[in-house]
Every structure is written in structure tokens, then in C-alpha cells.
Chain A
């Protein structure tokens, strides 16, 4: 069964460093998402992406964040200058349809900012 994959599974970085989290969505999916979950808290939406542009973003997704689909398979989340509060589990998801279809999540990348 096709699945969303994410790399790395765990990333440790120093505050102020840039990190890139990588995702390979399911191949025939058109919509891509990033969510995050701070330890012990709710899963929160960050951004959705379709047709090579951001469709929607949350207040969390400020200028420090960016997303890109550099080729036909990868979908990346970049945090330019990490802060301690960026420490969280980051989930990538993908879906085939807008607004009415299942979103399939990857296993997550645990980001630890020291």
C-alpha cells in the first residue's frame, strides 16, 4: 500500500540553524500539507500546498518557514533560523482531493532544537 515517507526520523539542531525536513507524498496525490505536534499538545496545521503554491497557511507559518516541491516527488519544509519553540514532531500529509478526502500522514520527523 502506498504511504507517505519522511526523512530524517529525528533531527537535532542548534538554535539559529536552518533545517530542511523532507517528505515524499503518495505519488498520485495532488495536495500536500505540513502539520506539527509539540510534545503533549494537539496536532496543528501549518500549511497546505497545491499546484506549486501555498493554498493556506496558519499563523504559525511565519517568514521563518517555507515549503517547496523541488521535483516531482519531494515536498520539503524549511525552517530558516530555528528557535527552541520549534521543537516538535513535524508531519507531512497528502491527499487526492480538496476538502473532502482523507489525508494520509507520514511517520513524522522529530525536531529537537538545542
Chain B
């Protein structure tokens, strides 16, 4: 598997439901970041969780990090149609600042 793989690849839910996306990575990290990308648009930074943190909240977002399993999850609670986007996890790799992105989860929130 590649550094930064999300699952599921696609997720379709109803407005008001929670959406959970998972990310797995291979190498040691000092942080993991989640980004959102609306179709054909730029990347919006959502949240950064450091390797010594297990959980972090920001509004309706909850991110967990399990370094022993090399995995992270992003939970969006009470989803809205405006949350429809692709969600990517990204990690600094190679000892530098290069971010390696996953393949993303396409979330569709239907009314």
C-alpha cells in the first residue's frame, strides 16, 4: 500500500448523518494533516494532528491518530450538503517538508 491511503474511496450519506473516513500510512510521521478539495478547486486545510496526540476536534470535525496502527480517521458529524468534497490525508515524508497525499475519499452528502 502507498503512504496515505484513504478508505472508503467514495462515501454517500444523507444530510445529518456522520461521515467517517480512514487513512493509513507506512512510515513514521511527526504529524498528519487532513485537507478538503471541492471539485476542481484548491486544497483547504482542515486539521493537523501531531504524533503525540491521539484525538483532536475542530467544530464538527474529529480526528484520531493511532501511531501503533499507522492510521487516522476523520469524522464529520451532522454532515451538510456543503461538506460534499474530496478529503485527503497528507503526511510529511522523507525527513523534509514534502507532503505525501493519499488518494482521497469522495464524500457526497445528499439532501
Contact = CB atoms under 8 A, between A and B. Distances in A.
B85 interface: no
Interface string A18-51: 0000000000000101010000001111001000
Interface residues of A, number: 27
Interface in B20-48: 30-31, 33, 35, 40-45, 48
B98 interface: yes
Contacts of B97: 31, 33, 48, 55-56, 95, 98-99, 103
A19 to B, nearest CB: 19
SS of A interface (majority): strand
B96 A99 contact: yes
B87 interface: no
B88 to A, nearest CB: 7
A48 B98 CA distance: 7
A103 B42 contact: no
A110 B40 CA distance: 9
Interface stretch (B10-18, B66-74, B100-108): B100-108
B100 A103 contact: no
B43 A58 contact: no
Contact of B92 (A44, A93, A99, A105): A99
B22 to A, nearest CB: 17
B99 interface: yes
Contacts of B35: 105
Contact of B94 (A33, A56, A93): A56
Given A35-B99, A56-B97, A100-B30, A105 B48 contact: no
Interface of A: 31, 33, 35, 42-45, 48, 55-56, 58, 89, 91, 93, 95, 98-108, 110
Given A48-B97, A58-B98, A99-B96, 13 more contacts: A31-B97, A33-B97, A42-B104, A43-B43, A43-B99, A56-B94, A56-B96, A93-B43, A101-B48, A102-B48, A105-B44, A105-B45, A107-B41
Minimum-distance CB pairs A-B, first 6: A107-B42, A105-B43, A43-B101, A45-B98, A56-B96, A108-B42
